[in-house]
Structure 1
Amino acid sequence: MTALLTVCVLTAVAALAWWVPRWRLARALARPFDPAYLAVIERNVIQYRGMPEAQRAELRRLVQQFLLQKKFVGCDGLDLTDEMRVTIAAQACLLLMGRPSKVYGQLHTVLVYPGAFLVPRRQVDAAGVVTEQRQDLLGESWGDGRVVLSWDHVRRAGNEVAPGQNVVLHEFAHQLDSESGSNNGAPWLGARERYRKWSQVLGRHFEQLRAEAWHGQYGVLDHYGANSPAEFFAVATESFFEQPYRLAARHPELFEEFVAYYRVDPRDWFPRPLAEDPFHGGVVYGQWQ
């Protein structure tokens, strides 16, 4: 009888552990979206302004789930506000639009600094000499379920047309990359046969970016992506969501791989550019359609 009772208790506990989070999520999603949160998204997530209503509703649902399931921690004296939480959640959830996926299932905490933060680094040279350094960072994605962000950069990036750099998109691309088991620029693609083309296309464009960085040539992709395939995937993700017309024009094959992976085309969210800007390598935008 005791053994049977133990089994029953364990079964009940397991059932509650499965049911309670789903009940809490269903209850959160059933609530009307907070108008104050909506104002934050409209102000700080430029892509939202060009979305059709169905995609706007999808993003709002993802934001509600993100806010429910993730813990935010203010660092270096930062007092977290709803604007910070909602802005970060909305920018991060852009990467999940159209993808049948958990909302960053491996992530549990977002650490937010007011500005760039110092991180200790240890470097070992060819002779085995160890050098201790401190590096200024705007963001970092850790393999233990944490992402670190600079709020100052998050706030500015979400309001600019085609800035090309967004620390939230960058670090959460690393989170997606790690879902395949390693952070190597090849996220989980859903089918093993897709990796061959992914490797070929991203490999060619990675080598092209390395050559551009070596010769000091600038295009749509930030040279930071030349450091490794993982950084290339994160940098290309930034350009895909922030400068889709430029990326499609200059790297069409790479752009199509990202359309297939992210299952959205961000060009639909931006006004069609009137012309390429020959002085800054950017685009001159028309009116919102």
Structure 2
Amino acid sequence: MLSTLRRWFGATPALFDDRWEPVLERDFAHWNALTASELERMRMLVARFFHETDWEAARGMDLTEDVRVIIAAQACILLLGLEIDEYFDVSSIIVHRSTVTLNGTHRAAAGTVSDAPQHLAGQATPKGPVVLSWSAVRRGARAPQQGQNVVYHEFAHRLDMLDGITDGTPPLGSESATRRWSDVFTPAFERVSAGDSVLRAYAATNTAEFFAVATEVFFNRPHDLVMHEPDLYEQLRTFYRQDPARRFPHPAPVRCDTTCASRISPDAITISNVAQHPGQEFVPVDDRPTESTRVGGLDVPVLFHILGHLVPSEEALSKST
């Protein structure tokens, strides 16, 4: 709404603050790999995103300027090569300090249903908010070699939603491009469902999650994708109009064990006794829940739509990689 009003009334174009440059150079690894022309466009995109987004701090979150610009820059990487300069119908960005734990029935990998606790790092809903865990955002920005980035994941969902259908196929411009996309993505999805893929198991949840996870690997571990899924890499390179494999030198092999897996902080939010059903919503409770804390009737400002797209936290994901 805020960005729409600015466009209607012809507000002065947003300006990139020079103070943001060292912040991004320090805390967003991909910023330092961009060319001069890419940086010029990125500064414009980041400035617009920063100033035209409605930001909301969840309980206990200190939503500083640095936090907002680091989120903005990661979201804008996906727009860098596209012909659009903004995400549409994002009502707000809600930032939590840490992960959200969801207790109750939920969708799991390969279309299964689970009642195990689900640690969430982010969520995107059609025409609604994007919810992010700052701890996950920060790790993704600083350590792309781990292959996971909650901002890339959630905003890939937002691109997928542009045509009104969240199915892992964003608007591609032609029927032939859509057919080619399906010809490549369908067998790649089948491979991850069978456990034979460079993509983590969460990509097998459904085709929408497959596209979001593939986007993370495309930007963070492009050489792995080129080696194991070259046709998938080519489709993503054509869609995003970027070539991360050329942008980054080929990395040395990295073994990621429990020492580099992220951990859930003790102040993570917990949500209890919530089943995942169509149309149901769940509410984040206090950061340190007590026995008297209940989901129903809480006076809290944020509702999460269960049907939105949920990203497991890095702790949960590390168990499936």
Q: Could you say which TM-score interval applies, normalised by the shorter chain?
A: 0.7 to 0.9
* Contact 2:56–2:93, Cα closer than 8 Å, also in 1: yes
d(CA) in 2 for partners of 1:267 and 1:155? 23
* AA matched with 1:85: R
Q: Offset of 1:145 from its aligned partner?
A: 2.3
Q: Give the greater-gyration-radius structure (CA).
A: 1
d(CA) in 1 for partners of 2:126 and 2:86? 16
In the alignment, what sits opposite 2:217?
A: 239
Q: Deviations over 1:112-138 (max 9, x none)?
A: 0000024465569xxxxxx99874311
SS in 2 for 1:193: helix
In the alignment, what sits opposite 1:23?
A: 10
1:251 aligns with 2:229: yes
In the alignment, what sits opposite 1:99?
A: 82
* Contact 1:110–1:149, Cα closer than 8 Å, also in 2: yes
Q: Deviations over 1:17-51 (max 9, x none)?
A: 88854622x432xx4x3122112211222111111
* Contact 1:206–1:232, Cα closer than 8 Å, also in 2: yes
1:117 aligns with 2:117: no
Name the structure, 1 or 2, with higher relative contact order (CA <8 Å, separation 6+): 2
Q: For 1:173, which of 143, 156, 159 is the aligned residue?
A: 156
Structure 1 residues 247 and 153, CA gap change in structure 2 (3 angstroms) = same
* Contact 1:198–1:257, Cα closer than 8 Å, also in 2: yes
SS in 2 for 1:56: helix
In the alignment, what sits opposite 1:64?
A: 47
How do 1:1-289 and structure 2 match up within 5 A? 20-21=7-8, 23-24=10-11, 26-28=12-14, 31=15, 33-119=16-102, 135-212=118-195, 219-273=197-251, 275-276=252-253
* Contact 1:170–1:238, Cα closer than 8 Å, also in 2: yes
SS in 2 for 1:35: coil
* AA matched with 2:138: R
* AA matched with 2:23: V
- Note the residue ranges of structure 2 that are not aligned, 5 or more in a row: 108-113, 258-321
SS in 1 for 2:37: helix
C-alpha RMSD over aligned residues: 2.5
Identity of counterpart residues, as a percentage? 37
d(CA) in 1 for partners of 2:244 and 2:181? 20
- Note the residue ranges of structure 1 that are not aligned, 5 or more in a row: 1-16, 125-130, 282-289
Give every structure 1 segment of 4 or more consecutive aligned residues whose post-TM-superposition deviation is greater than 6 Å.
Answer: 131-134
Q: Deviations over 1:120-173 (max 9, x none)?
A: 65569xxxxxx9987431101111321000000101111114110010001111
d(CA) in 2 for partners of 1:120 and 1:83? 32
Higher helix share: 1
d(CA) in 1 for partners of 2:134 and 2:5? 34
- After TM superposition, the structure 1 stretch with the greater mean CA deviation from structure 2, 170-179 or 37-46, is 37-46
- How many residue pairs get aligned? The number is 249
Structure 1 residues 134 and 230, CA gap change in structure 2 (3 angstroms) = same
Structure 1 residues 22 and 76, CA gap change in structure 2 (3 angstroms) = same
SS in 1 for 2:145: coil
Q: Offset of 1:268 from its aligned partner?
A: 3.2
* Contact 1:67–1:89, Cα closer than 8 Å, also in 2: yes
* Contact 2:121–2:136, Cα closer than 8 Å, also in 1: yes
* AA matched with 1:262: Y
